[in-house]
Amino acid sequence: MRKILCILITFFTIATNAQIERDKQLHFTAGGIASGFGYNYVYNKTKDKTKATIAGIGLAILAGTIKETIDSSQPGNKFDVEDLAATTLGGITISVTINLIKNDKNNKKIRKRRLGISLGKNRGRRKSNRNN
């Protein structure tokens, strides 16, 4: 069943990929890269995931706007809102993904508690109730 599901997902990914213009894919990638840099820079300075997410998305929007503004100044080109949307979507995707995946010590402790792994002094030891 898993093999069939993997084959179907691969097929739909390839089919969807063929329907998206190469230019939009490049804009999505550029937005993701800009967002990743913005997120990491702000997170390293502030250690605040919310500010880092906003900064990552903002940098992707800024990069897309600057690129489209430069394009619109060239003869025969115009400001393409769809290109800006693709860049922004790439930024949102990467910033939110990094935010969800980013591990810090508190998240690891919470995960261990949810899994029932002891964090105390008696880690790995079982209490015995022997009455001899």
Domain ranges of the chain: 20-114
C-alpha triplet 101, 105, 33: angle, nearest 5°: 30
pTM (2 d.p.): 0.65
Per-residue tokens: 51: 């500010």
Go through 36-53 and write b for each residue having 16 or more CB atoms within 10 A of its CB, e for each that does not: bbbbeebbeeeeebeebb
**What confidence tens digit (pLDDT) does each residue in 49-78 have?**
999 999 999 999 999 999 999 988 988 888
